Structure 1
Amino acid sequence: MKINKIELKNFKRFTDLTISDIPETAKLVLLIGSNGSGKSSLFDAFDWLTKGPYKGMPYSHDEASDYYKKKINEEPKVVVNFTSGDLIEKTGYSVIKGTELVKNFIGRSSVRIVPRISNDANPSAVSTDMDSPTTYIENDTRFINDVFLYIQKINQALREPVFSGKQADTLKIFRDFIEPLNSSLLKIFGGDATTTIQIAEFQDATPSTPAKLIFRKGESKINYDLLSHGEKQVIILLINFIVRKEYYRNSIIFIDEMDNHLNTVLQASLLEEIVTKWIPDDSQLWTASHALGFIDYARSSDTAAIIDFNLINFDTKQELIPLSKNKLEVYEIAIPKATIASILKGYKLVIVENKNDEHFNAALGQDGFLFLPANNNREVFLTVKSDKDKLGLRDRDYLKSEEIEKIKGQLPNLKILPLSTFENYIYHPDNIEVLNYAEFNKEEYIGEILRQKNEKLIDIVSEIGTSRTHYIEFKDCIKDDGNIKPITEALKSNIFNDFYPFFNMKKHFNKKYLTKFNYTISDLAKTQWFRGEILKVINS
């Protein structure tokens, strides 16, 4: 269940708002914009669809009018179109189309921190989502029910087999309830079991005392009540997904401001973990944020769309479509232009493939360059094509020398490595030699590269044509003449300087030979040889 278009008319702040062209691949839709731009109003629209036919109306007609209507004399209207071709249409109290679909909207308010676990659980409300807040400006206390069910399910799994004369499958219980929570905590907070909270035990509620969730951090044990707000925020979200996962299939899940109380690094980690692990592939997550970490994750994800609500005129018809991710302006809601300019003053920005920016920055940061990551060579090309003030640095892959020169002639700010990949520099015999590893024999190493190249030569040659069809430079810059003979002839050569520029060390070289030297990529990226070679390319 995924939305590709939504229309709001006379709903809360909006006179007439349309959001369209959301791609079918969007598992995440991130709403960005200044405070008061209407992001939470959209979540109220999602929740409003479920009022009446599904969850009932917990307030009078006049109260509903005051909260949902922009103009009192007109009924609010929401229309949602799905990629499947289905739609929901609701006007006033009536769901005109898609009555059965409205129950597939499940949301969480931004106000959801539960400071301590209490004894007032109502687990019977969970299956119908009746424990959701009345509106999305109210406190979401569903965590109390989630804790009750979390403990109840573990207890049931432990005790039920006893009455059949069987042993409880403790490994399955661990995998179903304990491991998912602990592994997500490690991925979100980083570190290991000695530095990151891990669920350790629980205590059942009694008539006079509430249930307890006990976490371990190193040798210490910490009751949930004593965790920081940031830790509680993550625990509340994760246990909600663990307990209610059966209700999240084929759904629109909307969670307002998940980044509350989290630093930038944790923001990206939290969003990535939830999208990749806890959101089913047939569902879609909508969330709103001003957070740099969320924006950064959504910009780099192939399954995310970003909608900018900033500076919307609520009194006129507004149409929004997903932002282009090629421009760094997408970050402006989190970091103002003036701040970005101040931070980047004196730096030359260089867009590089994959996550190699970390190593390039370590090697050349002192030279006045700031390397920024792109998903692939296509994104590098599009970024520097649209912004001539930035440099791009991409792998050579299977580009011929004359093609490189033609591309540089049309796009001088796109720099292309003379060797196949970044790894060809990292693992170059000359680079490893300068670290003076004991027992390193340069000629023997070159011989090992040659041996592996010849062993895989047929497979390597067979992939050249297919690889070249994906180069955006051949579509937007120069034409592919289809002649790959110079590349295949070079690869067939046993002369190192002939074949090495086209031999992909990242993909085709087995690094097992090098493990005896106990190297790290960071060490290899900090050599003067590596720095010098990359500077030659950038300054060319």
Structure 2
Amino acid sequence: MRISNIKLNNFRRFTDFEIRDIPETAKLIVLAGPNGSGKSSLFDAFLLRYREDSQYGWNPDLKYYNKSDKDKEINYLLDRVEINTHSNQKLTKGTVYIRTAYRNDHEFSTNELRKQGEVLDNQRLSRLIEPDATVAINYQRLASNATEDILVNEDSSTTIGDYRKKLIGEVSEPLQRIFHDLVFVGVGNPFIDGSFQFDKGNSRNFDYKNLSGGEKAAFDLILDFVIKRRSYPEAIYCIDEPEMHMNTKLQGKLLEELVGLLPKNSQLWIASHSIGMMRKAREMYDENPSSVAFIDFGGQDFDQAVVLKPAKPTQAFWHGVMEVALDDLATLIAPSQIVICEGNPKGSIAGKNTGHDAEIYNKIFSEEIPDALFISAGNSKEIQNDFIGLATVLPQIATGIKTRRLIDRDEHHIEDVEDFKSQDIMVLSRRHLECYLYDDEVLTKLCYEENKPEAINNLIEFKRQAINRVVERGHPEDDIKKAAGEIYESIIKLKIIQKSGNDNKAFERRVLSKLITPGMNTYRILKEDIFN
């Protein structure tokens, strides 16, 4: 089962809210955004709709569900929660499993076994504010099932050792991939201080209560998935803040294991503002973009009508994640690579056009290469000589950062270009950035984007005439920068776009930079020029 769209009206955080266009291929849905932005409220909607459609019944606490006191007079609560699936199924019994953020079994032990009922007959949660401790319950379920298996169900040829491996293997293997020195060894003696048992280093058979907070958190979710997935084979799994008590590196490992444990036709929704979870989700997205969807709750006014769609993890999205996760420390997070390019640096006397080239490059590559940051640092000579020392200093203050310098082709001879590349100075294959911005492919796309395809031929002809006039003034025919002003005036004259900016520089930053996207030949050439 996979969710296709969601509509909520006057429900908890939301006045008029919709999530749409969730692809059926998405196995992982990541809800990103700050605390209080409504992520848990969405899970409450899932749980409410599920309990009703499955006939479990729901908690009639209207003060909890309604956005305000007036809402109870508007219409029936359940009419304001609509959740649709790609298979057009209702959320019937066994199709939704939710864990709240209040998962805390700090210790437990037992001296008796109690047979547990069917998983689907025990729907404990009704709201996302409720405690959700399951480790002790899952111990009883695992141990009592094991007793029944040994006495009744298991083949007589199975040895105790083989059965023990079968019993704990599904949990121990993913747990050990997260914590290499932690080994889950069994359920102990359920009749004498029974508890889960572990080995670590020289310590043997120590109890669950001796695990660290992070180890308990990971063990809880992995154990729960292994036990519950048999009862929820095609379901929506939701976990509120799965990263609780874990460091960044382990968060990513845990997410990878949970997605791996997910039944084939199921979907995992997580609400998180964890760097580790987000980074691992981004890696999964890069590997298979159709399998992961990011829903960004940040910067929204949910007192108004809001429609959200899956967001691409661009540089702007990632910066938002950093701000939420690290608050003021976000500005200290360095990208993995910095490209020092031509253009007047920020703070120089160039005024409104400072950082012009860098701003354009950042917009062009923000989607596909969000961990790259372009910085304008002077003219070609200043870049070549690292005049203000960026290429030298940055790797020293941010370990692991890679810097490269980028200059325009201009009149450089091919031998000079090869020499520059040997110094890790990249050279554009065209004269300058404007050659890419005003490429025929980009101008054609502009006309289509603005619903003016009939203007394409005229615009290309105006561009050709502008270049001819540049040549007549004694400049090379590929000096598009000299013709940029006239091409811009032609665009205005042809009324191709209404809000174009005050001049051609602003137009290049605000409009043309957004038109060069992956899949275009212009983009491919520019990417090869810079990132080799």
Rate the CA distance shift 1:140–1:381 in 2: closer, same or farther, 3 A: closer
Where 2:293 maps in the other structure, the secondary structure is: strand
Q: Does the CA contact (< 8 Å) of 2:143 and 2:190 recur in 1?
A: no
| Pairwise CA distance, 1:410 | 6.8
Uncovered stretches (5+) of structure 1, i.e. residues with no partner: 88-97, 352-377, 394-400, 415-470, 480-536
Deviates more, 1:331-340 or 1:38-47: 331-340
Q: Does the CA contact (< 8 Å) of 2:46 and 2:83 recur in 1?
A: no
Give the aligned partner of residue 521 of structure 1.
none
| Pairwise CA distance, 1:34 | 1.1
Matched, 1:202 2:187: yes
Q: Does the CA contact (< 8 Å) of 2:252 and 2:276 recur in 1?
A: yes
Q: Does the CA contact (< 8 Å) of 2:233 and 2:263 recur in 1?
A: yes
Of the three residues 356, 361, 369, the one matched with 1:383 is 369
Q: Does the CA contact (< 8 Å) of 1:39 and 1:288 recur in 2?
A: yes
Query: CA–CA distance in 1 between the matches of 2:367 and 2:429?
Result: 11
Q: Does the CA contact (< 8 Å) of 1:161 and 1:168 recur in 2?
A: no
Of the three residues 243, 258, 279, the one matched with 1:274 is 258
Where 2:238 maps in the other structure, the secondary structure is: strand
Q: Does the CA contact (< 8 Å) of 2:197 and 2:208 recur in 1?
A: yes
Give the aligned partner of residue 510 of structure 2.
none
The letter of the residue matching 1:321 is K
Give the aligned partner of residue 38 of structure 1.
38
Q: Deviations over 1:82-129 (max 9, x none)?
A: 223x15xxxxxxxxxx3x636401111110111122559875454225
Uncovered stretches (5+) of structure 2, i.e. residues with no partner: 286-290, 341-363, 377-401, 405-416, 419-425, 437-516
The letter of the residue matching 2:16 is D
Where 2:258 maps in the other structure, the secondary structure is: helix
The letter of the residue matching 2:297 is F
Q: Deviations over 1:214-273 (max 9, x none)?
A: 111022132012222211111111111122221231100001111000000000010011
Give the aligned partner of residue 356 of structure 2.
none
Rate the CA distance shift 1:18–1:198 in 2: closer, same or farther, 3 A: same
Of the three residues 151, 154, 162, the one matched with 2:146 is 154
TM-score by length of 1: 0.60
Of the three residues 63, 77, 82, the one matched with 1:66 is 63
Rate the CA distance shift 1:297–1:205 in 2: closer, same or farther, 3 A: same
Identity %: 28
The letter of the residue matching 1:155 is T
Matched, 1:244 2:228: yes
Matched, 1:311 2:299: yes
TM-score by length of 2: 0.60
| Pairwise CA distance, 1:187 | 1.5
Q: Give the CA RMSD over aligned residues.
A: 3.8
Query: CA–CA distance in 2 between the matches of 1:387 and 1:405?
Result: 17
The letter of the residue matching 1:318 is V
The letter of the residue matching 2:243 is D
Matched, 1:135 2:145: no
Give the length in aligned residue pairs: 367
Q: Does the CA contact (< 8 Å) of 2:38 and 2:297 recur in 1?
A: yes
Query: CA–CA distance in 2 between the matches of 1:133 and 1:478?
Result: 51
Matched, 1:261 2:245: yes
Of the three residues 177, 188, 192, the one matched with 1:187 is 177
Q: Does the CA contact (< 8 Å) of 2:339 and 2:372 recur in 1?
A: no
| Pairwise CA distance, 1:23 | 2.0
Query: CA–CA distance in 2 between the matches of 1:292 and 1:121?
Result: 41
| Pairwise CA distance, 1:344 | 2.9
Q: Deviations over 1:368-427 (max 9, x none)?
A: xxxxxxxxxx9898337996549999xxxxxxx99x987666779x9xxxxxxxxxxxxx
The letter of the residue matching 1:203 is G
Rate the CA distance shift 1:388–1:112 in 2: closer, same or farther, 3 A: same
Q: Does the CA contact (< 8 Å) of 2:5 and 2:20 recur in 1?
A: yes
Give the aligned partner of residue 18 of structure 2.
18
Give the aligned partner of residue 107 of structure 1.
98
Give the aligned partner of residue 360 of structure 1.
none
Q: Does the CA contact (< 8 Å) of 1:251 and 1:282 recur in 2?
A: yes
The letter of the residue matching 1:383 is I
Where 1:152 maps in the other structure, the secondary structure is: helix
| Pairwise CA distance, 1:198 | 1.1
| Pairwise CA distance, 1:539 | 11
Query: CA–CA distance in 1 between the matches of 2:93 and 2:6?
Result: 14
Query: CA–CA distance in 1 between the matches of 2:298 and 2:175?
Result: 33
